[in-house]
Chains A and B, each alone.
Chain A
Amino acid sequence: MSDPIPVPTDHPGQVASATPPAPGRSRRRLGDRGLAVAFISPALLLLLGMSVFPLLWALYLSFTDYSATRGGPARFVGFGNYTAILTSAQVHQRALTTLIYVVGAVALQTVLGFAIAYLISRRTHGRGLLTTLFLVPMMLSPVVVGLFWRFMLDAQFGVVNSMLGSLGLGQVEWLTRQRTALVSLIMVDTWQWTPFIMLIALAGLTAVPRYLYEAASIDRASEWFRFRTITLPLVWPLLLIAVLFRAIEAFRLFDLVYILTSGGPGVSTETLSFHVYKVAFLGFNTGTASAYGILMVLVVIVLTQLYLRYLNKLKED
């Protein structure tokens, strides 16, 4: 009995495949698609487990009266939680506080951030060092920032009032008066997050083509004219994206409120996020807190969609 004649082929692999596999052991090589699935599936599973499942679970709980501590079965209450939240005067008050905070903080950060970026972009020396120094607050944990400013703003022992006193000005109750407490929150958030706007604006300013300015200077255009017709229109879309990110972050504000004012005086600096925390952990009304969270996500999604449409329109124009 002679040996089988090998089938000629250009691909060594085919030689191997011509050999019949051992009985009971089917070996298949992964194709491109299989490899893609193998690489993506761990991340996908993680995403499903850590984000999608909790979101769906929260959505389910939002239609029930479930309490995490009381245990027992969750009872379906339909849209009861949503109705309670949307018609609650307490929630309306917190929404207004949050709105004032978001608009105040983001507007201030945008103006300051852009102004600083504009000034830095005009410098030729020390730009890197200045940028790095300005970025330091953004690198700190919000809890650290909160504690740091809580000591700074203390009416009796704080550095800020001490400085005001040395200037002959009176003491300000930064954290314990209704208006100044919200202003203090805006100030501290601005201190921490202005660098973020500055960074994005700086990137936009650096990307403006030089030849446009050169052409404008040949035409003897004024500084204001160049800013209004070249700089601002080109940086504006990027700036708006930075504003979007900051607005979403500010809308979710929790840590600074928790550390600086605990929502006080009274509930005058209690934001929506802080209120959700109280609903979720003081009363452990998990169903209501879930509905609250879902509504907040929906608000962010809807507002973001509207904002993005505006951005697209701006781009088309």
Chain B
Amino acid sequence: MKLATAAMLLVATTLAACGGGQDDGAKTSAPKAPATIPELTKDPLTLSFIWFDWPPAHALEAFANAEYKKERPNATVKVNTVPNANWHDAMFTQFAARKTDFDIAILDSQHIGEAVTNGNILDLTDFVKKNIDVKAYDPYLLAAYGQFPQAETGKRDENASLYGLPLLGDTWTMIYRKDLIGDKPPQTWDEMISVAEKCQANNPGVSGLAFHQANGSDAAAVTYNTVNGVYGGNLWDAKKRKIDGVLNDAAGHEAMDVLVNKMKPLTAKGSGNWFIDEVNAAVAQGKACIGFNWIAASGGLLDPKQSKLGTTREQILDKLGFATLPSQKTNLVPLGGMGMHVSAYSPTANQAEALNFMQWFERADVQKKWAAAGGVPSRTDALQSPEFLNAGPFNQVYTDSVPRMRDMWNVPEYARLVDIENTGVNAALNGAKKPKEALDDIAREQQGVLDSSNRKGGGGL
């Protein structure tokens, strides 16, 4: 036993000595994609995506196989899905292995920084310049889904590099019960709380509000960020890389107070771990007056098989209304959705196919077809098209919300920052921490992560 321990220590010391004293070579950059699409293979080829398991993932696979195959009969599109909570891990553990079983990663906008600095995805700047009409997009959406470093001003920097192209746009919609609160949706956040309070009091068994509170993925964090935004708060000072003192300023604390002390009491008991599915279930079962959810995940609400609000789509729509989020001090809404990014470790033939798919997907006619198939496009012409606006009752909400969007911090440390915020907000919502204490802890811990990101040595707790 002693001998084995000594041997292990000897090996460890030797290896450690070998690794010591080396310079910081961790800074890598993404490899460049060719400006023109290389010659495509004529052999059968499967183009693999990775996404999390939700309706748009299945819609994408069906849409791509129906439409893309018309142009590339030898190509089959496969959208691999994982549970939402594993999405980041599933992509980045493969990136860590420098080998992926997917060709196109559908990254959250905040994941781009981590993937770019690690050299995991292709730099598409030259490809985009040559093949994509960038003027056709809202500049903020193009920046959010592809640009790094991110445009914190909300405007796309034309000189910045692009690493992705929009796949699915998204934001929150307010879902309200027209039969319980009337046809006119509340216009301000305070009014919305008041209406929800009254609705809850008048309808026993129905809670006033339903929103995301879980501590997995970005659930609770987006909820806080949304309230923070409408009450005039900021998530950070991007130029100074300062979170502590900015997130938890007076506006931030007011937002946390509104969330925990005014909104939380209007939610169902035990809803502290609710995310997309639970909010949809509460609305569909008639147990919430007002709910907030991602537009791309709201399609199921109109399915009579899943709803107790009616036996037909029309009956459900008589009771459900969809509106843009109320404003308060500002009118910000959260940016959702994702872009397509080509894996740097995908075989050359598949990378070529991926670029060809992206060029095809971003065409105006295809974007309109994608909109009609249930997707949420990012091209302005598609957003304004009847194909999109008539495809769902919440699509107008998205089009109206685009100029109001705000994203989170798009930095390589995103995964840790969002985890800190999720657990902190979740703790406040479930009584494990006082709201003020929770927000101050979040700001302090997040600042610690930002400050330690360029520091030498270990860390990461």
Q: Do A and B come from one complex?
A: yes
Closest residue of chain A to B216 (Cβ to Cβ) is A262
Taking a contact as CB atoms under 8 Å apart, the answer to whether A288 and B459 are in contact is: yes
| SS of A interface (majority) | loop
Taking a contact as CB atoms under 8 Å apart, the answer to whether A268 and B432 are in contact is: yes
Report A-chain residues with C-beta under 8 Å of the C-beta of B433: 266
Tally of chain A residues near chain B (CB < 8 A):
59
Report B-chain residues with C-beta under 8 Å of the C-beta of A261: 273
Taking a contact as CB atoms under 8 Å apart, the answer to whether B432 and A175 are in contact is: no
Taking a contact as CB atoms under 8 Å apart, the answer to whether B270 and A267 are in contact is: no
B447 interface residue per 8 A CB criterion: no
Taking a contact as CB atoms under 8 Å apart, the answer to whether A84 and B271 are in contact is: no
Taking a contact as CB atoms under 8 Å apart, the answer to whether A64 and B19 are in contact is: yes
- In the complex, per-residue mask of A45-61: 1 if CB is within 8 Å of any chain B CB, else 0: 00000000001100110
Of the candidate stretches B31-39, B113-121, B172-180, the one touching chain A is B113-121
> Known: A266-B432, A285-B459. Is A175-B25 also a contact (CB below 8 A)?
no
A155 interface residue per 8 A CB criterion: yes
Distance in Å from the Cβ of A85 to the closest Cβ of chain B? 7
Taking a contact as CB atoms under 8 Å apart, the answer to whether A175 and B11 are in contact is: no
Q: Within the complex, which residue of B26, B281, B424 is in contact with A67, where a contact is CB–CB below 8 Å? A: B26
Report A-chain residues with C-beta under 8 Å of the C-beta of B8: 55-56, 59
B95 interface residue per 8 A CB criterion: yes
> Known: A262-B85, A264-B273, A282-B415. Is A69-B25 also a contact (CB below 8 A)?
no
B242 interface residue per 8 A CB criterion: no
Report B-chain residues with C-beta under 8 Å of the C-beta of A154: 270
Taking a contact as CB atoms under 8 Å apart, the answer to whether A267 and B22 are in contact is: no
Cα distance A157–B8 in the bound complex, in angstroms: 53
B262 interface residue per 8 A CB criterion: no
Distance in Å from the Cβ of B343 to the closest Cβ of chain A? 13
CB contacts under 8 Å to A, within B401-417, are 413, 415-416
Report B-chain residues with C-beta under 8 Å of the C-beta of A174: 270
Report B-chain residues with C-beta under 8 Å of the C-beta of A81: 458-459
Taking a contact as CB atoms under 8 Å apart, the answer to whether B430 and A177 are in contact is: yes
Taking a contact as CB atoms under 8 Å apart, the answer to whether A72 and B20 are in contact is: no
- In the complex, per-residue mask of B7-32: 1 if CB is within 8 Å of any chain A CB, else 0: 01001100111011111111110000
Q: Within the complex, which residue of A64, A67, A76, A178 is in contact with B431, where a contact is CB–CB below 8 Å? A: A178
B456 interface residue per 8 A CB criterion: yes
Report B-chain residues with C-beta under 8 Å of the C-beta of A310: none
B57 interface residue per 8 A CB criterion: no
Of the candidate stretches B74-82, B86-94, B368-376, the one touching chain A is B86-94
A281 interface residue per 8 A CB criterion: yes
Taking a contact as CB atoms under 8 Å apart, the answer to whether B271 and A155 are in contact is: yes
> Known: A60-B19, A64-B19, A71-B28. Is A156-B114 also a contact (CB below 8 A)?
no
CB contacts under 8 Å to B, within A33-88, are 55-56, 59-60, 63-77, 80-81, 84-85, 88
A173 interface residue per 8 A CB criterion: yes
> Known: A80-B458, A155-B270. Is A265-B96 also a contact (CB below 8 A)?
no
B272 interface residue per 8 A CB criterion: yes
Taking a contact as CB atoms under 8 Å apart, the answer to whether A264 and B427 are in contact is: yes
Closest residue of chain A to B21 (Cβ to Cβ) is A76
A and B contact pairs by CB, cutoff 8 A, 26 listed: A55-B8, A56-B15, A59-B12, A68-B93, A68-B96, A70-B26, A70-B118, A71-B28, A72-B24, A73-B22, A75-B24, A77-B456, A156-B282, A161-B270, A175-B270, A177-B272, A263-B423, A264-B214, A264-B215, A264-B273, A266-B215, A266-B427, A266-B430, A279-B460, A281-B92, A283-B460
| Partner-A contacts on B (CB < 8 A) | 8, 11-12, 15-17, 19-28, 85, 88-89, 92-93, 95-96, 114, 117-120, 214-216, 268-273, 281-282, 287, 413, 415-416, 419, 423-424, 426-433, 438, 449, 456-461
